[in-house]
Amino acid sequence: MIAFIDDHRGAYGVEPICRVLLIAPSTYHAHAARRVDPGRLPARAKRDAVLMAEVRHVCEANFCVYGVRIIWRQLAREGITAARCTIARLMRAIGLQGVVRGKTVRTTIPDTGPSARSTGPTAS
């Protein structure tokens, strides 16, 4: 949404676009200021940036086999305190996942053939 406003603000202005998109202009200006000055980021975003680096470091130091619980415990041993759900959220955001033992569970098998349901009008 912010990129859209940036692209069209020269032609229409920020306030009219925000009125149509139903967001406050102050919201757009706050996001624009945060992009320019990282010091204005919320405390959670600043903490997440620091924790992401630490999580990545622990994961790479252990051949990316650690899952959420073990990374959380390793960070605690290193003196970095964070909630386990925070570590899980950051690992999902980074795209890290621990090694899964055994086979992964497959609940459905997709059909590779033509679908019995029609996706649109068919010519007869």
Nearest-angstrom CA–CA distance, 28 and 48: 22
Q: Is residue 85 part of a domain?
A: yes
Residue 28 sits in which domain range? 2-40
Do 16 and 30 lie in a common domain? Answer: yes
Do 87 and 51 lie in a common domain? Answer: yes
Do 62 and 28 lie in a common domain? Answer: no
Per-residue pLDDT of the chain (124 residues; tens, 9 = 90+): 889 999 999 999 999 999 999 999 999 999 999 999 989 999 999 999 999 999 999 999 999 999 999 999 999 999 999 999 999 999 999 999 998 888 877 788 877 777 666 565 665 5
pTM of the model: 0.68
Domain count, the chain: 2
Do 33 and 62 lie in a common domain? Answer: no
Nearest-angstrom CA–CA distance, 58 and 52: 10
Closest CA to 54 of 29, 82, 33: 82
Q: Is residue 113 part of a domain?
A: no
Do 36 and 48 lie in a common domain? Answer: no
